[in-house]
Amino acid sequence: MGGRHIKDGKRLVITIGRQFGSGGCEVGTKLAQELGLDFYDKNILRMNSDESGIKESYYYMADEKAGNKLLYKIIKSLTPEKGAPSFGSDLTSADNLFRFQSEVIRKLAAEEDCIIMGRCADYVLEGMEGLVRVFIYADMDFREKRTIEKEYYAAKDAKKNIKRIDRERRDYFRYYTGKEWEFPENYDLMINTAAIRTDGAVETIKNYLKVRGFEI
């Protein structure tokens, strides 16, 4: 890990939730570069694999999807325990993969200041000193255009895939946290990238950190 490690100063761990196509990953990457922090996104999956001995492919299958249970039955009230997995159950179940991932996220936050993308990190680290929870969003027209420009999907498939991925992230968040993914009360700062683009979002977050008293 090459990021800024915690010293006696004020802690700083930034979590970023994002709608698909809003530029959240780009915001996180740029912000990490400017602040000199490590940025964790899909690389958390590899760390999970190293930590648990479970093949990385299992994490990709479960990553930000609520697991098969949600496909067959709507479970809104269940909030799985955030602790270690039960070895009496399926080790590669979505719930156990989430628990392993949560352990890795907590360890990262305990060791260094960093930026973590998605993965319910805002919930996993709830109550932690120095936690700043950001959500990046934009209107559908902006996200559809950006998705096509970035060649994530062909023009004819862009909108339906944006809706599908947002639905998966929404279900995943609701299933593991019992909360609603896009509700403002879950975040400290929500930014519309359609209005100020990703560079504007980075500057907005930096200004917010200064107002909060973080030395950056």
Mean pLDDT of 190-211: 97
Is 8 part of any domain?
no
Mean pLDDT of the region 87-95: 55
Q: How many helices (H) and strands (E) does the chain have?
A: 9, 5
22-78 pLDDT, tens digit per residue, is 999 999 999 999 999 989 887 665 554 444 444 445 444 444 454 433 322 322 333
**Structural domain count, the chain:** 1
What length is written for the chain? 216
CA 36 – CA 155 distance, rounded (Å) = 36
d(CA 47, CA 214): 28
Q: Convert 42-54 to b/e letters by CB count within 10 Å (16 or more is b).
A: eebbebbbeebeb
Q: Per the domain annotation, does 133 fall within a domain?
A: yes
- Looking at the domain assignment, is residue 192 inside a domain? yes
Residue 173 lies in a domain: yes
Q: Is 142 contained in some domain? A: yes
Distance (Å, whole) CA 173 – CA 70: 12
The CATH number assigned to the domain holding 201 equals 3.40.50.300
In the chain, % of residues over pLDDT 90: 56
- For residue 46, the model assigns a pLDDT of 56
Segment among 19-33, 62-76, 175-189, 197-211 with least mean pLDDT: 62-76
Does a structural domain hold residue 172?
Answer: yes
DSSP 131: E
- The order of strands in the sheet holding 189-192 is 38-40, 114-117, 13-18, 131-137, 189-192
**Any idea of the CA torsion for 21, 25, 26, 29, to the nearest 10 degrees?**
180
Q: Is 80 among the domain residues?
A: yes
The residues near 35 (Cβ < 8 Å, ≥ 6 apart) are 4, 115, 206, 216
The range of the structural domain enclosing residue 39 comes to 31-211
Mean of per-residue pLDDT scores for the chain: 79
pTM over 0.85: no
pLDDT in tens, 99-136: 878 888 888 888 889 999 998 999 999 999 999 999 99
Rg of the chain over Cα atoms, rounded to whole angstroms, equals 17
Could you give the CA distance from residue 121 to residue 13 in angstroms, rounded to a whole number? 10
Find, among 21, 84, 75, 78, the residue nearest to 51 by Cα: 84
Q: Which of 42-56, 72-86, 156-170, 194-208 has the lowest mean pLDDT?
A: 72-86
Please, how many CA atoms are within 13 Å of residue 135, restricted to the half-sphere of its CB? Answer: 19
Domain assignment present for 145: yes
